[in-house]
Chains A and B, each alone.
Chain A
Amino acid sequence: MSDKLIKIVRFIGLGFLEPIIRLSRGEETKKNLTEILKKIVAPLASTLLFILLWQSGATALYNTEAEYRIEKAFKDQGQKAADEMTACIESGEVNCQPNTLPSPSQVKASFNSLLKDHKTISADKKAFKEKTADLNKKRIAEGKDPIVYTGRPSFVDQIITSIKTVFAGFLLAIFIAVPIGVVIGLSETLRSSINWLIQIFKPVSPVVWLLLVFMIVKTLTKDSDADSSFIISFISVGLCSMWATLVNTVMGVSTVDKDILNVAKVLKLGPFQKVFKVILPSSLPLIFTGLRITLSVAWMVLIAIELLAQSPGLGSFVWEEFQNGANDSNSKIIVAMFVIGIIGFLLDRIMLTIQKFVSFNKNEGA
């Protein structure tokens, strides 16, 4: 029973829980205690160290900024203004706080306020929906568009939008890169004739892709009132991130074990069977390695693209907060940074788990 549990825990990448499970069963106490020290205590200690460094760095920056302000007040307006400034900063007044790297406690406070904000907004939304439900029914019956909530999205809404965009882009990347990769991988002529195109487009920056997609989508969606910023950002994400999958698929398909191909030849498998029974399964591990890279690239460029395309999501959240320049903007940006990082990490974990699942050689992958 718990052997199975350990297997599952290992499989989904939570291997650090293994010594706790083993210890709770009273297995090899000493060995498992050192394992716990290595796998749990040590990472916790390093996290603590990180927060300490951050705290001291933030304090140092805060002091520098504060000193600078006091000095400036002194230079411009004399001793009295400097004293006022000192008092103002010490009193914690909002409009004279030094604007610099926020401390961990400030970031935590911002995180809580963002959650609170989300609760308020979603309550607001719910109320709005209930209020308009009857009216909307009537409007639909009359053939009119229903009234929708157009208030400010909360932080959690932004996260959900970003994840939706990244998945749309990721799916687009799969549907473009895998079939093309298989076709190119199968034919050496095609490979050599298209390779230069891939090599040239692969290193192109996300910004340029965004502009290219913008040019095309803007013209195509001129007459429709569809949400073009979403379309633009997910297509750009797909185009930026698909290259890893494309290259890996081509490689996987073109390097299928020669002996296995000979077996297919001797058995006289038809082209369809050859592709679906032999070539695709045998290149699946490489394709999934590519997909994993694609997803992490997609998440990375998504933030930049949202930031530029002004489409809703975490990227524009960061950009708006930066432009906003409110007192807690900086700490909100840091909250967004951690959220982006953690979601990216989780996405990678999910892909790794799937990759392990399809890989027929269980020793492969890491």
Chain B
Amino acid sequence: MALLSKNKRPDIITENGIEYTSKVMLDLQDLKKVYPTPKGDYVVLEHLNLQIMKEEFVTIIGHSGCGKTTMLSMIAGLNPISDGRISVLSNPIKGPGPDRGVIFQSPSLMPWLTTLENVMLGVRQVFPQAKKKQREDICKYYLSKVGLEGSFYKKASELSQGMQQRVGIARAFAIKPKVLLLDEPFGMLDSLTRGELQDVLIEIWNKEKITAVMITHDVDEAIFLADRVVMMTSGPRAKIGDILDIEFKRPRSRKAIIEHNDYYKYRKHLIDFLEH
């Protein structure tokens, strides 16, 4: 808990109302999720409070089954809230919407569409008044950013898993969401591909600075990508156990971070929490 009190962010709770709302992008208040079962209610999450600032990258780490994914799908609006409030820029969310882009664990592309058409599906929805050429340029720009210049017209089913997830990243950024939600997006990839995709993700994120919430199992991934790592306690009745600020400067290079002294301090902190 020591690091939590050391939090230098001037904008949490103690600030006055105006500043508070102007900097908070995503606000979870007293969030609760209950699944009714024949043996009585099963409380997955309870009293969960979290404020995520504009242009902040937050990773959430915790044991399997602690309700991380439930929390994320509640933010996405795909899973109804039992109690509490989720708001984006102080507007409570109502169901899913393109202001919260999601990158799912499986790439979930439409296999019958080309990569370009997959990205286009969302872009057409978000920019209905744009000309076809403009929309196509947006799609092509983001596909190139994730390293798929040569594969615009390939069918999604022809791509490898890693390539497909790149399309998933492009699709999420291309609709210019306010918040980006990532549900263990690299969990199904081998470690080499995972490293590559982390670089792809962070490079495009450095440009766009879209507020991001990412769930991960991987301690190194959590540290490398995040401004803050949120640790969740094990369920049932999971809540936030600890928050760790990662103070490496951006843009970060993997090599420099691994060689940094603080890296092992952070890593130890996270592992201590998870093994606790």
- Show the binding face of A for B, using Cβ within 8 Å: 257, 259-260, 262-263, 265-269, 277-278, 281-282, 284, 360-362
- Please give, as numbers and ranges, the residues of chain B lying within 8 Å of A257 by CB-CB distance: 108
12 more A-B contacts (CB under 8 A) besides A263-B110, A277-B110, A282-B111?
Answer: A259-B104, A265-B78, A265-B96, A266-B98, A266-B100, A266-B102, A267-B121, A267-B125, A277-B121, A282-B110, A282-B112, A360-B112
Nearest opposing residue in chain A for B105, CB measure: A259
B232 contacts the other chain (CB 8 A): no
Nearest opposing residue in chain B for A277, CB measure: B121
B97 contacts which of A262, A268, A277, A281 (Cβ < 8 Å)?
A: A268
B106 contacts the other chain (CB 8 A): yes
B147 contacts the other chain (CB 8 A): no
B215 contacts the other chain (CB 8 A): no
- Pairwise interchain contact A263-B104, C-beta atoms closer than 8 A: yes
Give the shortest distance, in Å, between B148 (CB) and chain A (any CB): 18
Count the B residues whose beta carbon is within 8 Å of the partner chain — how many? 24
- Please give, as numbers and ranges, the residues of chain B lying within 8 Å of A268 by CB-CB distance: 96-98, 125
- Show the binding face of B for A, using Cβ within 8 Å: 76-78, 95-98, 100-102, 104, 106, 108, 110-113, 121-122, 125-126, 155, 157, 175
Nearest opposing residue in chain B for A360, CB measure: B112
- Please give, as numbers and ranges, the residues of chain A lying within 8 Å of B155 by CB-CB distance: 360
A284 contacts which of B104, B112, B122, B175 (Cβ < 8 Å)?
A: B112
Most buried by B among A266, A269, A277, A282: A266
Cα of A266 to Cα of B126 in the assembled complex, Å = 11
- Pairwise interchain contact A260-B108, C-beta atoms closer than 8 A: yes
Cα of A361 to Cα of B158 in the assembled complex, Å = 9
Nearest opposing residue in chain B for A285, CB measure: B112
- Please give, as numbers and ranges, the residues of chain A lying within 8 Å of B101 by CB-CB distance: 266
Most buried by B among A257, A262, A265, A267: A267
Nearest opposing residue in chain B for A284, CB measure: B112
- Please give, as numbers and ranges, the residues of chain A lying within 8 Å of B157 by CB-CB distance: 360-362
Nearest opposing residue in chain B for A270, CB measure: B125
- Please give, as numbers and ranges, the residues of chain B lying within 8 Å of A281 by CB-CB distance: 110, 112-113
10 CB-based A-B contacts, threshold 8 Å: A257-B108, A262-B102, A265-B77, A266-B102, A268-B96, A278-B110, A281-B110, A360-B111, A360-B155, A360-B157
